[in-house]
Chains A and B, each alone.
Chain A
Amino acid sequence: MTDVVVVGAGVVGAACAYYAARAGLSVTVLDRGPVAAGTTGAGEGNILVSDKEPGPELELALLSARLWRELAGLGGFEYEAKGGLVVAETSEVLGSLADLAVAQAGAGVEHVPVAAGELPGYEPDLTPDLAGGVYYPQDSQVQPMLAAARLLSGAPGAVLRTGVEVTGLLRDGDRVTGVRTNEGDIPAGAVVNAAGTWSGEVAALAGLDLPILPRRGFILVTEPLGGRLGPPLIRHKVYTAAYVTDVASDSEGLETSAVIEGTPSGTVLIGASRERVGFDRTTSIPVLEALARQAVALFPGLAARRVIRAYCGFRPYCPDHLPVIGADPRAPGLYHACGHEGAGIGLAPATGHLVAGLLAGAAPTLDLSPFRPERFAA
């Protein structure tokens, strides 16, 4: 019998498997698809502390940013400590941004206020029509699919089984004692639900209500330029202050805010849109147009660069925009590691670290009560 079954081979499941295996537990990771092909496969790879207000998610993000720096030693997933630059179009917004940065500093977020005249020193191609910004050196970036794959391959003794779909849970009374799959039953000491946007379905197998819903996001990808020889057009992760408010928004309609960055492949990734349309993959041209407008407004030089691809993904969100992390008291043996919305790549190591700690019986290093699974129960 394996100690732990992790459901989901995305970056969160991979991090859970990595830290659990490092804690000496035997781990089996299941995914109905390939590795990192669901929620993770449509991500940008953001590791952000800058976009979070002081509170439990920021604590998680700071722990995660530290863990990602350690994990970077595994190599092979394009970890870049590039820093984030948040810019404000107006002095009013800049004021709010500066206030936020001061509040974040109290929690341990490093930042550097950047006056309008100093912006070109950070990003020479930024539009001059900005009031200023804040630079966040802890923000960083990974290639999320490779990160998940490398964490899994770096988890000592962990077994990855792709193409295995969990169809039910093995129970002993309330207790969860393993999973039922299309390839037979797998008894386990514990089951970790890391199924990303589909985590609500896994919880439902235990008769539990976990309100995790999809929020659609599109990303544009430009033609590659520069490559090894030239410097990238965009050095940091650059986004507008509006992103912070959008992230926390409850709006059902579309919101877009520019999040722009170069990648080691020479492309520029352009996000971020957020809309609640279920699992509809149909491309919305107006959304692509809005993303393009915002990108060009921020970096006028991008107007001449071509978009060669676009993709969309579904971010798993909870009504209170906090993830679900920890043991489920309603079904002993079942742990959740899901609901990270658009921050799953960044928050994965901390999530995995905390869940592995619980599985190994260690006291949590962070207060998990804001993330408790039963908090939505009426």
Chain B
Amino acid sequence: MTRSQEGPHAGRLDGARPVPAFEITVDGRPVPAAPGQTIGAVLHAAGVVSWRTTRVGGRPRGLFCGIGICFDCLVTVNGTPSLRACQTEALPGDRVTTG
């Protein structure tokens, strides 16, 4: 998991006031989410820009195409591997594990 030094950069959601908000966890750390947001968006907004490493080079990967094409953003949620973070809606209590 790669985390921004400055913390979340996008707490401001384009003027929206989402209700009701909830939390998911990333490696145990709580992260705020809003209904309908994707796991990828929730992580990215929280400053978490990568959540897996590649098989060969061990390179960190996160969102790239954002529309379900590239499979870079594969994520493990509640133990289920290989979900596309950009296509998977965050649900209250989701546990994301990185690595």
A and B pair up: yes
| A224: interface (CB < 8 Å) | yes
CA distance A227 to B55 in the complex (A): 6
**CB of A31, distance to nearest CB on chain B (Å):** 30
Cβ of B55 and Cβ of A223 under 8 Å apart? no
Cβ of A227 and Cβ of B56 under 8 Å apart? yes
Q: Tell me what chain A mostly uses at the interface: helix, strand, loop, or mixed.
A: loop
Cβ of B82 and Cβ of A223 under 8 Å apart? yes
Cβ of A266 and Cβ of B82 under 8 Å apart? no
Q: B53-69 interface mask toward A, CB cutoff 8 Å, 1 = contact, 0 = none? A: 00110000000000000
Number of interface residues of A (CB under 8 A): 8
A306: chain B residues at CB < 8 Å are: 82
Cβ of B82 and Cβ of A224 under 8 Å apart? no
| A228: interface (CB < 8 Å) | yes
Interface residues of A in 225-242 (CB under 8 A from B): 226-229
Nearest A-chain residue to B80, judged by Cβ = A304
CA distance A229 to B56 in the complex (A): 9
CA distance A223 to B82 in the complex (A): 9
Interface residues of B in 40-78 (CB under 8 A from A): 55-56
Nearest A-chain residue to B54, judged by Cβ = A227
A229: chain B residues at CB < 8 Å are: 55
**CB of A233, distance to nearest CB on chain B (Å):** 13
Nearest B-chain residue to A229, judged by Cβ = B55
A227: chain B residues at CB < 8 Å are: 55-56
Interface residues of A in 196-226 (CB under 8 A from B): 223-224, 226
A224: chain B residues at CB < 8 Å are: 55
**CB of B90, distance to nearest CB on chain A (Å):** 22
**CB of B55, distance to nearest CB on chain A (Å):** 3
CA distance A227 to B58 in the complex (A): 11
CA distance A228 to B82 in the complex (A): 18
**CB of B94, distance to nearest CB on chain A (Å):** 19
CA distance A134 to B81 in the complex (A): 34
CA distance A226 to B55 in the complex (A): 8
B82: chain A residues at CB < 8 Å are: 223, 306
Interface residues of A in 266-310 (CB under 8 A from B): 266, 306
Nearest B-chain residue to A227, judged by Cβ = B55
B55: chain A residues at CB < 8 Å are: 224, 226-229, 266
CA distance A229 to B55 in the complex (A): 8
CA distance A226 to B56 in the complex (A): 10
**CB of B57, distance to nearest CB on chain A (Å):** 10
CA distance A266 to B56 in the complex (A): 10
**CB of B3, distance to nearest CB on chain A (Å):** 24
Nearest B-chain residue to A224, judged by Cβ = B55
A226: chain B residues at CB < 8 Å are: 55
A223: chain B residues at CB < 8 Å are: 82
**CB of A111, distance to nearest CB on chain B (Å):** 34
Nearest B-chain residue to A305, judged by Cβ = B82
CA distance A223 to B55 in the complex (A): 12
CA distance A306 to B81 in the complex (A): 11
**CB of A7, distance to nearest CB on chain B (Å):** 37
**CB of A330, distance to nearest CB on chain B (Å):** 52
CA distance A226 to B81 in the complex (A): 13
Q: B82-93 interface mask toward A, CB cutoff 8 Å, 1 = contact, 0 = none? A: 100000000000
A residues touching B (Cβ–Cβ < 8 Å)? 223-224, 226-229, 266, 306
Q: A228-B55, A306-B82 are in contact. List 8 more A-B contacts (CB 8 A).
A: A223-B82, A224-B55, A226-B55, A227-B55, A227-B56, A228-B56, A229-B55, A266-B55
List 10 A–B pairs whose Cβ atoms lie within 8 Å, in order of A's numbering. A223-B82, A224-B55, A226-B55, A227-B55, A227-B56, A228-B55, A228-B56, A229-B55, A266-B55, A306-B82
Interchain residue pairs A-B with the least CB separation, the first 5: A227-B55, A266-B55, A224-B55, A223-B82, A227-B56
